[in-house]
């Protein structure tokens, strides 16, 4: 459930009409709902009630300072994957003991910065990385808490570009080698092994792959304890999918996922961390765009929008479907017709939807892409020198621009001309 609903024929974000915001900030822009974000965070938190846990929001999904601050104030931890994300989390007021650091390529500079600022744990992805963390921590005279990310060789049954738990993927160490790698970790100075980490992919719409992976993690926990390791923490990753199309069957709910976690690893007495990103932010955001032209093509009509692939890359990159709805509610009886929905960028890949059935649309109309709060703004670029679009946050009947659109001068002045020119 989200808080983008029609009221009196107008799409609203919580208690504010989307058209009112469009008039104030100009299109295109991202628009987020505080109530939806918090609702989704709390669903996870409540799903794990009764067991020691921390919901570490995967901030790669949406890392705007206002979004992070909103979630941090509700008690969320953060999953970060770069020195930059760590700095953002700290700037938003998240204490180090609530931040976990994931990712296959942590540099020594990042490891050092994070150890200086405080960290809950490193999720280690390889033996060379384990060595690097050991070296940096030892040189600083500190102990780095670590989990080791295991690759359980489970098919997440999701888009190949966002599946991470098969042996052919670059992530984690093969679970079959885990006992050996834990023994190596225990022998290294500057490290304290605290648990196990796993993450099998994103936009999972079934629970079975999670179940298969978490059972393997439970077995490994017992085996590692028998080897003498103190396993007190399990980081179970993120990945629970969201309904991108209203017409589709909805993926499992966080409550079902929480019950699965309790069923598979609850008996181990470990503290559990999860790293959801998409389910917290995805349906808490929309992308609002205006139709520039309606162009009649050969056998098809194109809606040419002022938003483009550089603003929302998911359709071009993953063939992702986003529902597109008019900001003024169409009459229920109106007949739908097919449109190819495209942006102004000079590539045919700049296509949001083909033959999408929609109510009649005219130039100047406002449209909203649903489910755009996760992996939307964070994956945007300034291709075609199209300025990064503003982000706006709604809270009840208030709204605020949480990232402004840069001016052309601001964009141009980031470049520098060398002395010889």
Contact between 276 and ligand LLP by CB under 6 A: the answer reads: yes
Residue 120 binds ligand LLP (CB under 6 A): no
Interface with ligand LLP (CB under 6 A), residue total: 19
Query: What is the rounded distance in angstroms from the CA atom of residue 116 to the CA atom of residue 96?
Result: 10
Using the contact rule CB under 6 A, the part of the chain among 105-113, 137-145, 262-270, 271-279 near ligand LLP is 271-279
Q: Is 278 near ligand LLP (CB under 6 A)?
A: yes
**Does 383 engage in binding with ligand LLP (CB under 6 A)?**
no
Binders of ligand LLP among residues 193 to 222 (CB under 6 A) are: 199, 202-203
Position 85 contacts ligand LLP (CB under 6 A): no
**Cβ neighbours, 10 Å, residue 164:** 22
The answer to whether 314 is annotated as binding is yes
The answer to whether the annotation marks 233 as part of a ligand binding site is no
Q: Which of 19, 35, 74, 162 binds ligand LLP (CB under 6 A)?
A: 162
Instruction: State which of positions 35-64 bind ligand LLP (CB under 6 A).
Output: 58, 61
Contacts of 418 (CB under 8 A, 6+ apart): none
Q: Which of 12, 56, 270, 346 is catalytic?
A: 346
Establish whether 356 is an annotated binding residue. no
Is 293 labelled as part of a ligand binding site? no
**What is the per-residue binding string for ligand LLP in 221-260, x denoting contact by CB under 6 A?**
----------------xxx---------------------
Shortest approach of ligand LLP to residue 273 CB, angstroms?
Answer: 10
Question: Which CB, 239 or 343, lies closer to ligand LLP?
Answer: 239
Binding annotation for pyridoxal 5'-phosphate? 239, 275-278, 375
Binding annotation? 239, 275-278, 314, 318, 347, 375
Active site residues: 346
Q: Which residues bind ligand LLP (CB under 6 A)?
A: 58, 61, 79, 102, 162, 199, 202-203, 237-239, 275-279, 314, 318, 375
């Amino acid at each position: 459930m989200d808080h983008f609903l029609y009221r009196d024929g107008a799409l609203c974000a919580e208690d504010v009409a989307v058209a009112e915001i469009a008039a104030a900030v100009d299109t295109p822009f991202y628009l987020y709902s505080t109530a939806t974000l918090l609702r989704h965070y709390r669903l996870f938190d409540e799903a794990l009630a009764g067991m020691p846990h921390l919901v570490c929001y995967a901030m790669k999904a949406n890392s705007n300072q206002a979004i992070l601050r909103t979630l941090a104030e509700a008690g969320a931890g953060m999953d970060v994957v770069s020195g930059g994300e760590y700095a953002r989390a700290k700037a938003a007021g998240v204490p180090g003991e609530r931040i976990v650091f994931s990712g296959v390529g942590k540099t020594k500079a990042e490891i050092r910065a994070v150890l200086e600022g405080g960290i809950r744990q490193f999720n280690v992805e390889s033996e060379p990385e384990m060595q690097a963390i050991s070296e940096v921590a030892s040189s600083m005279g500190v102990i780095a808490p670590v989990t080791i990310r295991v690759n359980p060789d489970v098919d997440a049954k999701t888009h190949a570009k966002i599946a991470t738990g098969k042996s052919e993927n670059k992530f984690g160490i093969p679970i079959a080698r885990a006992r050996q790698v834990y023994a190596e970790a225990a022998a290294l100075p500057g490290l304290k092994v605290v648990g196990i980490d796993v993450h099998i992919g994103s936009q999972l719409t079934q629970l079975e792959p999670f179940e298969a992976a978490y059972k393997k993690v439970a077995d490994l926990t017992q085996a590692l304890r028998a080897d003498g390791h103190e396993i007190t923490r399990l980081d179970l990753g993120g990945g629970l999918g969201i309904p991108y199309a209203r017409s589709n069957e909805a993926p499992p709910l966080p409550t079902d996922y929480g019950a699965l976690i309790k069923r598979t690893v609850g008996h181990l007495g470990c503290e559990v961390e999860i790293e959801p990103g998409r389910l917290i932010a995805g349906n808490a955001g929309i992308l609002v765009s205006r139709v520039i032209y309606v162009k009649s093509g050969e056998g098809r009509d194109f809606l040419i929008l002022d938003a483009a692939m550089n603003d929302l890359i998911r359709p071009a990159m993953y063939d992702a479907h986003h529902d597109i709805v008019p900001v003024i509610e169409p009459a229920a009886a109106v007949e739908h017709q097919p449109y190819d929905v495209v942006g102004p960028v000079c590539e045919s890949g700049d296509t949001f939807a083909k033959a999408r059935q929609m109510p009649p649309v005219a130039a100047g109309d406002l449209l909203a892409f649903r489910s755009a709060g996760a992996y939307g703004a964070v994956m945007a670029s300034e291709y075609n020198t199209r300025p990064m679009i503003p982000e706006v946050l709604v809270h009840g009947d208030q709204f605020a621009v949480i990232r402004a659109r840069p001016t052309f001068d601001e964009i141009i002045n980031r470049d520098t001309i060398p002395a010889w020119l």
